[in-house]
Amino acid sequence: MEAFDALLTGFGVALRPINLMWGFIGVTFGTLVGVLPGVGPALTVAMLLPLTTKLDPTGALILFAGIYYGAMFGGSTTTILLNTPGESASIATALEGNRMAKAGRAGPALATAALGSFFAGTIATLLLTLVAPFVVTLALKFGPAEYFALMVFAFTTVAAVLGASTVRGLASLFIGLLLGLVGIDTQTAAPRFAFGVPELLDGIDVVVLAVGLFAVGEALYMAAYSGRQPATLEKMSGSIWMSKEDWRRSVPAWLRATAIGFPFGTIPAGGSEIPTFLSYAVERRLSKHPEEFGHGAIEGVAGPEAANNAAATGVLVPLLTLGIPTSATAAILLGAFQNYGLQPGPLLFQSQGELVWGLIASLYVGNAILLVLNLPLIGIWVRVLAIPRPGLYAGILVFATLGAYSLHQSWIDLLTLYVFGLLGFAMRRWDFPVGPAVIGLILGPLAETQFRRALQISQGDASVFFTHPISGTLLAITALVVVLPWAARRFRPKTPP
C-alpha cells in the first residue's frame, strides 16, 4: 500500500489551489489549441511548452498533463464535426463520428467521446498507479546495457515495424538521431555538429524540431497543395445528451477499449494508432447492429475514443518509470522534463516522489476537469472550428515562431525552424512518418550515453549486450519483431483467398 500513501501525498500536491488552477488552464488551452484543424496533440504540447518557462517544475508538469488531455479531447471534437482527423489515432473516430454528426447526432457522438475519454482515462490512470511501482522496482535492477537494449527495441518498433514503410520509418528515425548529435557530447564535453554556432551548442531543442515538422511543414504543405478544398463543418443541433440506448451501447465499448488501449500504450508500439483501429474492429465484430457501421454507429465512436485515451495514459508508464518515450507527444513531454533538469526514470520516483505522484494525481484531476469543462463549453469549441483557413494557419504560425524565438531570443532558431519546416513539408509530401524523427532526437542521446556507459563498465567488451539475460532477451525480441513480419510476407501463399 506504499503506492496508495504516495498517491495520497500526490493528491495533496495536485489539489493545492495553485496547481488546480494550472490544471484548469492546461485543459482549457489544450482543448482550445487541440481543436484547431490540423493541430494534433504533439504539436499542441510543443507549441504550449514556452508557457511554462517561468513556472516551478510541479506546476509546469501539471499544466502539461492538462494540455495533453485537453489536446486529445479537442482533436476528437474536430474529427467528429469536421472530418479532418488531426492525427492518425483519430481516423477511426472519423469513420463513425462524422457520420453521426451528418445524421444530426453530433451531440451524443461528442458526449460518448467525452464520457468515454473520462472513463478510460480514469481507469487507465488507476492501472498506471498500480503498475508504475512494480515497473520501478524492476527498472532499478536495470544497468546501462539493459537500458540500451530497451531503447533499441523502442527504436525498432516505432520506426521499422509500424507504419507503411520500413525504410521511410528508419530514414526518419536516423535523421532524428543525427540531429540529436548536435551539441556538446555529454561524456567528453567535445562539441559535435555545432559548426561554431553558439545556438547549436545547446543541441537542437525538441520544440523547434516538433513545431518545425508539424506546424511549419503542415502550413507549407497545406498552402502548396489541397489549399482550395473547404471542409464542411457539421452543425451542432438537437440534444447533447445520450439516450438510454446510447448508454447501453457505449459503456461496454468503453470498457473493452480501455482493456485494449492501456497495454498497447505501455509497450513501445507507437502510441494510439493500433489500439484505436483494433477497438473499432472489435466493436464492429461484436455489435448487434453491424449494419449501422459506416452510417454512424455509436460504438464506433465510443470504442476508439476510449482506446485513444487509455493508450495515451499507458504511454506515460514507460515515460515515467523508464524515461523512454514511445510516441512523439511523449518525446516532447520528456523534453519538458529535461528543461527542468529532471530525467524521468525509476530514480525520479525516489528523488522527486512528490513531483511524480503529484503529476499522477493530477491526471485523475485533469480527467475530471476535462469532463466538467468540455461538455458545457462545446459551443465555444465549435466556434473555434469555424475560423477560416487563412486566419487559422496565420495564427498557428505566429504562435509556432514564438516558441522557437523565446528559446534564445535569436533569429538563428527561426531559421532552424524554417529548415525543419521544409523537411516536414518533404516528409509529408513523400509520406515519411514524422514521429520517429522526434523520438530519435530525444531518445538518441540517451541511448548513446547508456551504450558508452555499458562499454565503460565492461572495459570495451561489446558482448555485455548479449550475455546479460535481460538485455539479451530484449535484443532477441527486437530481432524477432523485425524478422517475423518479413517472413510472414515472404512465405505467405501467393494466391489471395
Partner 1 sequence: MRKSAELALAAGVAALGAGGAIVTAGLPGEGGYAGIGPNFIPGVIAAGLIVLGLWLGWEAWTGRWRIAPEEPFDAPAFLWVSGALFAHMVLIGFAGFVLAGAVLFTGVARGFGSRRAARDAAVGLVLSLAIFFFFVKLLNVNLPAGWLSPLLGGAGL
Residues engaged in binding partner 1 (CB under 8 A) = 50-51, 53-54, 165, 167-168, 170-171, 174-175, 177-178, 181, 185, 187-188, 190, 192-193, 216, 219-220, 222-228, 388-391, 393-395, 397-399, 401-402, 405-406, 409, 411, 414-415, 417-418, 421, 426, 429-431, 444, 448, 451-453, 455-456, 459-460
- The answer to whether 387 and 42 are in contact (CB under 8 A) is no
Identity of the residue, 119 or 147, whose beta carbon is nearer to partner 1 in the bound complex: 147
Residue 192's H or E segment, with its range, is: strand 191-192
Scanning the structure block, which residue is given the C-alpha cell 454512424? 296
Shortest Cβ distance from residue 394 to partner 1 (Å)? 4
Using the 8-state DSSP alphabet, how is residue 164 labeled? S
Task: Note the Cα 3 to chain centre separation in Å.
Answer: 25
Identity of the residue, 251 or 414, whose beta carbon is nearer to partner 1 in the bound complex: 414
Q: What stretches of 49-105 show up as alpha helix (H) in DSSP? A: 57-82, 91-102
Shortest Cβ distance from residue 355 to partner 1 (Å)? 21
Give just the sign of the alpha carbon dihedral 384, 366, 63, 204.
negative
Three-state SS at 121: helix
183 is written with which cell numbers?
A: 551539441
Identity of the residue, 45 or 80, whose beta carbon is nearer to partner 1 in the bound complex: 45
Shortest Cβ distance from residue 159 to partner 1 (Å)? 11
68 is written with which cell numbers?
A: 495533453
User: How far apart, in whole angstroms, are the C-alpha atoms of residue 362 and residue 172?
Assistant: 34
Identity of the residue, 226 or 495, whose beta carbon is nearer to partner 1 in the bound complex: 226
Shortest Cβ distance from residue 103 to partner 1 (Å)? 29
Shortest Cβ distance from residue 318 to partner 1 (Å)? 22
Identity of the residue, 99 or 468, whose beta carbon is nearer to partner 1 in the bound complex: 468
Shortest Cβ distance from residue 176 to partner 1 (Å)? 10
Shortest Cβ distance from residue 190 to partner 1 (Å)? 5
Identity of the residue, 153 or 399, whose beta carbon is nearer to partner 1 in the bound complex: 399
183 φ/ψ angles, rounded to the nearest 5 degrees: 120, -165
Three-state SS at 53: coil
Distances in whole angstroms, Cα of residue 472 to Cα of each of 373, 445, 468, 476: 48, 21, 6, 6
Identity of the residue, 244 or 492, whose beta carbon is nearer to partner 1 in the bound complex: 492
User: How far apart, in whole angstroms, are the C-alpha atoms of residue 337 and residue 60?
Assistant: 9
Task: Note the Cα 448 to chain centre separation in Å.
Answer: 23
